[in-house]
Structure 1
Amino acid sequence: DALGLTKGTTLKIELDGGRIILRKDVSEALRKVRGKFKLVDGLTSTDEAMRAIRGRAPGDPFDP
């Protein structure tokens, strides 16, 4: 319980030198909710949403 692991939880196994590292695999959880959320009224794309939040979207030119 303290680790947030339950029966059926998928783990990623990584090797780091001589250590074995187990991590909870959250990619399936993200895949399940992909496309389930709607944009706020007035925004027609995720790029517009990113510009509203961050001031630019991925792929926009960067002006320092």
Structure 2
Amino acid sequence: MSSNQDQKQDQSQTTNNYNGNHEHYHISIPAEPEVVYVPVPVPETVVVIVVESDEKESDKK
């Protein structure tokens, strides 16, 4: 019977760990879209610079 109690405690710890991991996953999900929003304005700025450079070249012609 002592062995049975040991197993039950082990299961309880695994469930507790699962809950902690699950909460961590939940926090990571909303933080990912924020990172995706950061690179969005960067390429936009690069496009603006390319357009400006194209206009300057046209002016030189």
Q: Same fold (TM over 0.5)?
A: no
TM-score (norm 1): 0.28
- Of structures 1 and 2, the one with the larger relative CO (CA 8 A, separation 6+) is 1
User: Which entry has the higher C-alpha Rg, 1 or 2?
Assistant: 2
* Greater share of residues in helix: 2
| Larger fraction in strand | 1
Q: TM-score, normalised to structure 2's length? A: 0.29
